[in-house]
Chains A and B, each alone.
Chain A
Amino acid sequence: MKILVCITHVPDTTSKIAFTENNTSFDTSGVQYIIGPYDDFALARAVELKDSLGATVTVINVGLASAEPTIRKALAIGADDAIRVDVEPVSSMLVAKQIAHYAREGAYDMVLMGKESIDFNGGVVHGLVGALLGVPSISPVMSLEIEGGLAKMTREIEGGKEFVEVNLPFVAGCQEPIAEWKIPNMRGIMTARTKPLNVVEAVDMEQGSKTESFHLPDNKGAVKLVDPENMGELVGLLKNEAKVI
Chain B
Amino acid sequence: MAVLVFAESVDGKLKKTSFEAICMAAKLSSDVVVVALGNIIKEEALAGLGKYGASRVLWVNDERFNQVSANLAADVVSVIMEKAGAKILVLATSPFTASVAAVVAVKQSAALATNVVEIPDLSNGFTVKRSIFSGKAFETVQLSGEKKILVFNKNAVEVTVSDQTVAVEKISPTAELKEKGLKITGSEKASGTVSLPEAEIVVSAGRGLKGAENWGMIEELASLLGAATGCSKPVSDVGWRPHHEHVGQTGIKVSPQLYIAVGISGAIQHLAGVNSSKYILVINKDPDAPFFKAADYGVVGDAFEVVPRLIEALKAAS
Residues of A within 8 A of B (CB): 11, 13-14, 17, 19, 37-38, 91-93, 96, 115, 118-128, 130-132, 135-140, 156-167, 170, 175-177, 207-217, 220-221, 223-229, 231-232, 234-239, 242, 244-245
Q: Say yes or no: B140 contacts A118, CB within 8 Å.
A: no
Which of B94, B183, B297 is in CB contact (< 8 Å) with A165?
B183
Contact with A along B251-283 (1 / 0, CB 8 A): 000000110000000001100100100110110
19 A-B interface contacts by CB (under 8 A):
A92-B102, A93-B105, A121-B114, A121-B133, A123-B98, A124-B112, A127-B100, A159-B244, A160-B188, A160-B189, A162-B184, A166-B181, A167-B180, A208-B144, A214-B137, A215-B139, A220-B294, A220-B295, A223-B282
Chain B nearest CB, measured from A13 CB (Å): 5
**In the complex the two chains form, what is the Cα distance from A217 to B281 in whole Å?**
19
Say yes or no: A223-B296 contact (C-beta < 8 A), given A118-B249, A162-B186, A244-B201: yes
Q: Is B313 an interface residue (CB 8 A)?
A: yes
Say if the beta carbon of B115 comes within 8 Å of chain A. yes
Assuming the A-B contacts A211-B140, A215-B140, are A242 and B201 also in contact, with contact meaning beta carbons closer than 8 angstroms in the complex?
no
**A115 with B95: CB separation less than 8 A:** yes
Q: Residue on A with the closest CB to B69?
A: A136
Give chain B residues whose Cβ lies under 8 Å from the Cβ of A17: 133, 136-137
A50 to chain B, nearest CB (A): 23
Query: Shortest Cβ distance from B14 into chain A, in angstroms?
Result: 13
Q: Do A166 and B183 touch across chains, with their CB atoms under 8 A apart? A: yes
Asked if A163 and B272 make an inter-chain contact with CB atoms under 8 angstroms apart, the answer reads no
**Segment 94-153 of B: residues with Cβ below 8 Å from A:** 94-96, 98-103, 105-107, 109-115, 127, 131-145, 148
**Max chain B Cβ within 10 angstroms of own Cβ: one of A128, A228, A231, A235:** A231
**Which of A14, A122, A139, A237 gathers most chain B CB within 10 Å?**
A122
A209-B112 in contact given A37-B250, A136-B181, A214-B139 (Cβ < 8 Å): yes
Number of interface residues of B (CB under 8 A): 96
Does chain A have a CB within 8 A of B238? Answer: no
In the bound complex, what is the Cα–Cα distance between A138 and B185 (angstroms)?
A: 14
The residues of A that contact B182 with a CB separation of less than 8 Å are 136, 138, 164-167, 170
B181 touches A128 (CB 8 A): no
Whether, in the assembled complex, B87 has its beta carbon less than 8 Å from a beta carbon of chain A, the answer is no
| Chain A residues closer than 8 Å to B101, beta-carbon distance | 124, 127
Chain A CB within 8 A of B84 CB: no
User: Is B184 within 8 A of A139, CB to CB?
Assistant: no
Name B's A-contacting residues (CB within 8 A): 10, 67, 69-71, 74, 94-96, 98-103, 105-107, 109-115, 127, 131-145, 148, 179-190, 193, 195-198, 200-201, 225, 243-244, 249-250, 257-258, 268-269, 272, 275, 278-279, 281-282, 292-302, 305-306, 309-310, 312-314, 316-317
Interchain CB contact (< 8 A) of A160 among B109, B137, B244: B244
Which residues of A are found within 8 Å of B225, using beta-carbon distances? 245
Residues of B within 8 A of A157 (CB): 10, 96, 187, 189
- Check if B306 sits within 8 Å of A231, measured CB to CB: yes
In the complex the two chains form, is A176's CB within 8 Å of B243's CB?
yes
Count of inter-chain pairs, beta carbons less than 8 A: 269
Q: When the two chains form their complex, are residues A217 and B275 in contact, meaning their CB atoms are under 8 A apart?
A: yes
B187 close to A158 (CB less than 8 A): no
Q: How far is the CB of B212 from chain A (nearest CB, A)?
A: 18
Q: Are A223 and B292 in contact (CB under 8 A)?
A: yes
Contact status A244-B107, CB under 8 Å:
no
Residues on the B chain within 8 Å of A231, using CB:
299, 306, 309-310, 312-313
Cβ 8 A contact of B95, one of A37, A140, A224, A237: A140
| Docked complex Cα distance between A196 and B279 (Å) | 50
Which residues does chain B contribute within 8 Å of A123, judged by CB atoms?
95, 98-99, 114
Q: Which residues of B contact A93 (CB under 8 A)?
A: 105, 111-112
Q: List the A side residues contacting B250 at CB < 8 Å.
A: 13, 37-38, 175-176
A121-B114, A156-B95, A238-B258 provided; 13 other pairs, C-beta below 8 A? A13-B269, A14-B268, A96-B102, A119-B132, A127-B100, A127-B101, A128-B102, A211-B139, A214-B139, A215-B138, A229-B309, A236-B317, A237-B297
Q: A223 touches which one: B188, B297, B314, B317 (CB < 8 A)?
A: B297
Chain A residue numbers with a CB within 8 Å of B195 are: 158-159
Q: Are B144 and A209 in contact (CB under 8 A)?
A: yes
- Residues on A with C-beta less than 8 A from B188 are 160-163
A232 touches B143 (CB 8 A): no
For B316, the chain A residues whose CB sits under 8 A away are 232, 235
B98 and A165 form a contact (CB under 8 A): no
Could you say which residues of chain B place their CB within 8 Å of the CB of A131? 71, 74, 102-103, 105-107
User: CB-CB < 8 A to A167: which residues of B?
Assistant: 180-182
Return chain B residues, CB-CB under 8 Å to A217.
135-138, 275
